[in-house]
Chains A and B, each alone.
Chain A
């Protein structure tokens, strides 16, 4: 009897520990954000290359300047176009739901809607820095072994993310995180449940003190032969002035 009681106590302890160790999905998402995004204002370079049916059809060079908004734990972003030459020094600002586009040639600041894409196949939300934990509520679905972006089998936690604020780019996301909560793969869905795109986060490398993905491969949900490669480089701490995040100041933004 005594032996059975001890066994029961041990079993309950293990269950209790297992329950206590059950990770909080929102915390996992925050940890994932910390891997994707530096915590202080920063800049980075992004190369966007689009392929259709196996052939490269377009490329863009961007510089991204990001800092956390004063009254929110979401990022404000200023995107500067650096290639090709026809788009040089054009700017895109995303601050909350506000989006602006600036062309230095006509000096016009044009307010755009979130639905208006400015960069080929990818959404504006794909190129800007975003904290997913701010925009989505996470639920842990379970653990799965999946193939990662480098053709390896990876044991992952699968999260189901549901849009929690209106400025979120997608209605729902399925996100796979590895054991240290680094993003490996994601499916992005419309409100009606249609798969919009698949993303693989890969080629992890050290940037600003943290191991971060240096590439995202995006596969179109409707046309799977439409592929976009986003490559990130030249991360650097950068004190992004508040004035840069204001459309009134666009004509004076100048980076060397």
Chain B
């Protein structure tokens, strides 16, 4: 009996001691954290300067579909000047040069991309006018944007297959635009004139023919339908084309998931007819992308998207093209690259990204594309380590799978490894 009592008393004392130690440990932890930050001197963040610049150095190894390897060095300086003035005016200049030192496609020559050069005026806090070359991007989807109407021919040099990067490294369109907002909606009108008949591949050409080859008009409106649901409707017309209608919408499904739907439809020729400059009959063509982005509690984001391009070749048409005239096939592939349409009718897109998950300051992204029509696939992986406030170190790997003339199997760069050193001024 006495032994039992001693045993209980001993257990109680042990528990009390353990809990006391736990409390002390927690307090020590807090105290250590406070002492750590006590000793740190921190500067108040300065207002950013209007001038920004960075340069990328990127040695790469490329394997073509024929199995031949090539190495190259890409150097890409970028400058941006963005200044607002007190009276509501703003001036923006954004320029990038890509120089690739090899016999790769597009290599051995510098290509300048005058991405933006415009002025804007803000007569009130709810109205803006812009004049000049502006990179207008549109679309709620990630892998395929049917309502990104000004993307055609806008990329002078493809730096990355990541659609996010392609939206950065492209030419703006010369235009005049006006936007007005009110409490439950907004309206934007854009007019882009025809300035040059054909694209100009000269190194330092502004290449107005790439983006302003014809007159274009875009009207966009948003309307708040319900709390958290503000779809965007658009009407686009290029000279010689029928109007295209567009819809963009996003929805917060739950605390971790955002759904998106992007649609465009209108009378047009098939992609193949446009690529080959054939005056085929027009039909109502629909393009859309639907998907969602889910973020886990430990910060892994997954985007899954279904892409459909009704104007792109179906299974039989694509097989005919793959097995037909090589020149026709090459001409179509070239058009797909410049137009950023889908190669075939249906595809899947997936993007997985992490930030600070594996290692602090390390961002990773993996993109997978799958062509449902010819069952070819493309994978791209990127890891970027933020070495300090001025230096990023990145590694990109990509590979393609599929038969030799399939969507991804027939890509010019079958496999690629690229190291990217970026210095931010």
- Residues of chain A touching chain B, judged by Cβ–Cβ distance below 8 Å, are 45-47, 49-52, 54, 56-59, 61-63, 82-86, 88-89, 96-98, 103-108, 111-117, 120-121, 147, 149-151, 166, 198, 200, 215, 217, 219, 224-225, 227, 229, 231, 233-234, 241-244, 246, 248-249, 252, 254-256
- Residues 12-44 of B, flagged 1 when their CB comes within 8 A of A and 0 if not, give 000000000000000101111110110010111
Does B45 contact A82, Cβ atoms closer than 8 Å? yes
Closest 6 CB pairs of A and B: A61-B45, A241-B125, A106-B167, A84-B389, A85-B424, A254-B84
Q: Is B299 at the interface (CB under 8 A from chain A)?
A: yes
- Chosen A-B contacts, 20 in total, with CB atoms closer than 8 Å, are A57-B360, A58-B360, A61-B45, A82-B46, A83-B48, A84-B389, A113-B256, A114-B252, A114-B256, A117-B299, A198-B30, A215-B37, A219-B33, A224-B30, A225-B32, A227-B33, A227-B36, A229-B40, A243-B126, A252-B120
Q: Are A112 and B128 in contact (CB under 8 A)?
A: no
Say which residue of B36, B43, B389 sits within 8 Å of A47 (CB atoms). B43
Residue with the greatest number of chain A CB neighbours at <10 A, chosen from B33, B84, B168, B179:
B33
Is B369 an interface residue, CB under 8 A from the partner? no
Once the chains are docked, how many angstroms separate the CA of A89 from the CA of B81?
A: 12
Selected contact of B84 from candidates A82, A166, A198, A255, CB within 8 Å: A255
- In the complex, which residues of chain B have a beta carbon less than 8 angstroms from the beta carbon of A112? 258, 293, 295
Known: A84-B390, A242-B125, A252-B128. A106 touches B137 (CB 8 A): yes
- A-contacting residues, B125-175, CB 8 Å: 125-126, 128, 135-137, 140, 164-165, 167-168
B222 / chain A contacts, CB cutoff of 8 Å: 248
Q: Within the assembled complex, what's the spacing in Å between the Cα atoms of A89 and B299?
A: 23
Query: Which B31-68 residues have a C-beta within 8 angstroms of A?
Result: 31-34, 36-37, 40, 42-48, 52, 54
Q: In the bound complex, what is the Cα–Cα distance between A63 and B27 (angstroms)?
A: 33
Please give the distance in Å from B261's CB to the nearest CB on chain A.
Answer: 12
Residue-wise, chain B 382-398 has the 8 Å CB interface mask toward A (1 for contact) of 00001001101000000
A96 and B228 contacting across the interface, CB-CB below 8 Å: yes
A200 CB to nearest chain B CB (Å): 6
Measured between C-beta atoms, what is the minimum distance from A203 to chain B in Å? Answer: 10
In whole Å, how far is A254's beta carbon from the nearest beta carbon of chain B? 4
Indicate if the CB atoms of A85 and B45 lie closer than 8 Å. Answer: no
Contact A111 B186 (CB under 8 A): no
Which residues from chain B contact A242 at a C-beta distance below 8 Å? 125-126, 181, 183
Are A108 and B34 in contact, CB atoms less than 8 angstroms apart? no
Interface string of B88-128 (1 = CB under 8 A from A): 00100000000000000000000000000000101001101
Which residues from chain A contact B48 at a C-beta distance below 8 Å? 82-83, 88-89
Within 8 A of A (CB), among B277-305: 293-297, 299, 301
B239 to chain A, nearest CB (A): 24
The residue that A116 contacts in the complex, of B179, B299, B390, with Cβ under 8 A, is B299
Cα distance A63–B32 in the bound complex, in angstroms: 29
* B257 CB within 8 Å of chain A: yes
Q: Is the CB of A86 within 8 A of B30?
A: no
**Can you name the residue of chain B whose Cβ is closest to the Cβ of A105?**
B168
* Residues A254 and B181 in contact, CB atoms below 8 Å apart: no
User: Could you say which interface size class chain B belongs to?
Assistant: 35 or more
Which B235-249 residues sit within 8 Å CB-CB of chain A?
none
The residue in A49, A225, A229 that gathers the most chain B C-beta atoms within 10 A of its C-beta is A229
Q: B45 to A62, Cβ gap below 8 A?
A: yes
Interface assignment of B355: CB less than 8 Å from any CB of chain A? yes
Q: Given A106-B164, A113-B256, A115-B297, check contact A89 B82 (CB 8 Å).
A: yes
Interface residues of B (CB under 8 A from A): 27, 29-34, 36-37, 40, 42-48, 52, 54, 82-86, 90, 120, 122, 125-126, 128, 135-137, 140, 164-165, 167-168, 179, 181, 183, 186, 188, 222, 227-228, 232, 250, 252, 254-258, 260, 293-297, 299, 301, 355-356, 360-361, 386, 389-390, 392, 422, 424-425
User: Given known contacts A58-B361, A86-B392, A112-B295, what 10 new A-B pairs fall within 8 Å (CB)?
Assistant: A61-B45, A88-B52, A108-B137, A111-B250, A115-B256, A117-B299, A225-B33, A229-B42, A248-B181, A249-B181
Decide: A98 near B228, CB < 8 A? Known: A52-B360, A88-B52, A243-B181: yes
**Interface residue from A85, A108, A246 paired with B181 (Cβ < 8 Å):** A246
Of A106, A147, A149, A151, the contact of B168 (CB 8 Å cutoff): A106
Contacts of A98 on B, CB cut-off 8 Å? 228, 252
Task: Name A114's closest neighbour in chain B (CB-CB).
Answer: B255
> Are A151 and B258 in contact, CB atoms less than 8 angstroms apart?
no
Closest residue to A224 on the B side, CB-wise?
B29
Residues of B within 8 A of A46 (CB): 45
A-side contacts of B386, CB under 8 Å: 58, 84, 86
- Which residues from A are CB-within-8-Å of B36? 51, 54, 227
Q: Is the CB of A217 within 8 A of B34?
A: yes
Of the listed residues A108, A225, A233, the one surrounded by the most CB atoms of chain B closer than 10 A to its CB is A108
Nearest residue, chain B, Cβ from A61: B45
Q: Determine if B164 and A108 form an interchain contact, defined as CB atoms under 8 angstroms apart.
A: yes
Known: A61-B45, A151-B34. A107 touches B360 (CB 8 A): no
Measured in the bound complex, the distance between the Cα atoms of B46 and A96 in whole Å is 29
Residues of A within 8 A of B183 (CB): 242
**CA distance in complex: A121, B361 (Å):** 11
Chain A nearest Cβ from B340, distance in angstroms: 14
Do A56 and B299 have beta carbons less than 8 Å apart? no
Interfacial chain B residues near A241, Cβ < 8 Å:
125-126
Q: Are B122 and A47 in contact (CB under 8 A)?
A: no
In the bound complex, CA of A147 to CA of B27 (Å): 9
Minimal Cβ-Cβ distance residue in B for A106: B167
Given A83-B45, A151-B31, A254-B90 contact (CB < 8 Å): yes
